[in-house]
Chains A and B, each alone.
Chain A
């Protein structure tokens, strides 16, 4: 199977089908990022499409030494954060508590997650815990959420996050920290007791 660099070259040379290879190869990965950032399927799918459209348009700016997957991932993060900010300002006057029940379907999805090591207490809580986690993530600012997702799920470096946030590295670092801090505050009561009780067993 041809590698990304060749597909990029062929696309630049006018072969649109070569871009298809890149789209098919990287869509799912970008989707996972987009879903975690936006928190819902519809927005995630839109982010994925837009990310690839932008990647196509900007492909001549792409330095082929870089990794296409990482590059499109960053474009997606950039777009997702803009989109979240826009949405946030659009529905800033909507009452927050109501949103919890808005996407009941997704909450159901969440409660059916298989847990690798379910404890009885965890099982009892899982539905509620999942809902709480979603809510806590939603209450982060777009920048915090982006920083958190990129850092903890995307494995991105601080520089990369700074780039997506259009901020300095130290500001990005702070944003990552703030996001974890807020999540701890919101979710601590649900998860940290267990952490504590297992403290000696975990690394």
Chain B
């Protein structure tokens, strides 16, 4: 018969550890002393098991989500990860990335726009058509300008950075104030777009609103790391390009004073695809 197992061996045995298990089991069969010792360990752990954990409630998971959701940074898409796995030093060459990021967004949105602004109007309501055309043109121009201004703020943010490597904080108060102003306008245009049933434009404006909110609610002095994070959030949405594409499109429409004629059944189907 083997020697009495040590306390730690019995505890490991209790925990189901495999090493030396058989030998201990055999020993236990013959040794009342060790059986008692094991029973005491069992009793202790069983007693500790009876310590209750307060039940957090059925909706606990939902509550956790509500608490953390506002604190989650935007997650970048998969292909995007490749982009950002570049070394930090390259991180500041942001504009290059904007371009690549935009390629996809631009394509998608060109398709949206092509379809959207070519909505054929019902021939049976000519007066309504005229009025809605006028309203649409006004909205087009105003939103176009708004998007142009938003684009400038975002581009400035993208290009701002510490003047020197050692600089601890970057002041973005200028961009912030403008983002705050733009926010109000943005809400108005988004509502108007929604009322007019233009969900694509409303969608872009909605995304822009989140980005502007993000900018407006940051501290005035932020660290380069925070700035980079913010930039990534903006980039991940591809918002700058959406804004740029939509903005340009709207501007052209506004200048020509027309909604485009007919080239558009194709645009529409493309949009649907998108």
Number of chain B residues close to chain A: CB under 8 A? 43
Q: How far is the CB of A56 from chain B (nearest CB, A)?
A: 5
Interface residues of B in 37-52 (CB under 8 A from A): 39-45, 47-52
Q: Mark A24-66, 1 if CB is under 8 A from B, else 0.
A: 1111100110011000010001001100110011011000000
In contact, B72 and A195 (Cβ under 8 angstroms): no
Known: A11-B75, A28-B60. A133 touches B43 (CB 8 A): no
User: Which residues 152-190 of B sit at the A interface, judged by CB distance below 8 A?
Assistant: none
Closest partner residue, chain B, to A36 (CB atom): B53
Closest B residue by C-beta to A29:
B61
- Report Cα–Cα, A67/B26, bound state, in Å: 36
Q: Is the interface of B mostly helix, strand, loop or mixed?
A: helix
In the complex, residue of chain B having the shortest beta-carbon distance to the beta carbon of A130: B51
- Check if A162 is an interface residue, CB within 8 A of chain B: no
- Say whether B75 contacts A56, CB under 8 Å: yes
For the complex, what is the distance from the CA of A202 to the CA of B61, rounded to whole Å? 38
Q: Is B65 an interface residue (CB 8 A)?
A: yes
Taken together as a complex, chains A and B put the C-alpha atoms of A26 and B65 apart, in Å, by: 11
User: Is B64 an interface position by the 8 A CB rule?
Assistant: yes
Residues of B within 8 A of A53 (CB): 68, 71-72
Q: Are B44 and A188 in contact (CB under 8 A)?
A: yes
| A113 close to B (CB within 8 Å) | yes
> CB of A71 within 8 A of chain B?
no
Q: Does B76 contact A (CB under 8 A)?
A: yes
Number of CB contacts from chain A to chain B under 8 A: 149
- Taking CB atoms, residues of chain B closer than 8 Å to A200 are 35, 39
Which residues of the other chain, A, contact B53 by a CB distance below 8 angstroms? 31-32, 35-36
Complex alpha-carbon distance, A36 and B73, angstroms? 29
Residue B54 is within 8 A (CB to CB) of chain A in the complex: yes
- Residue from B72, B76, B80 with most neighbouring chain A CB atoms (10 Å): B72
Known: A12-B78, A14-B77, A53-B72. A35 touches B54 (CB 8 A): yes
A181 CB contacts on chain B under 8 angstroms: 7-8, 11
A residues near B (Cβ < 8 Å) are 11-16, 19-20, 23-28, 31-32, 35-36, 41, 45, 48-49, 52-53, 56-57, 59-60, 106, 109-110, 113, 115, 129-130, 133-134, 137, 151-153, 173, 176-177, 180-181, 183-184, 187-188, 190-192, 194-196, 198-200, 202-203
**Can you spell out 19 A-B residue pairs with CB atoms less than 8 angstroms apart?**
A13-B78, A16-B69, A16-B72, A20-B69, A23-B64, A27-B61, A31-B53, A35-B54, A49-B68, A53-B68, A56-B68, A56-B72, A109-B54, A152-B45, A188-B44, A191-B40, A195-B42, A199-B32, A200-B35
Instruction: Give me the interface of B with A, judged by CB distance under 8 Å.
Output: 7-8, 11-12, 15, 32, 35-36, 39-45, 47-54, 56, 60-62, 64-65, 67-69, 71-78, 80-81, 236
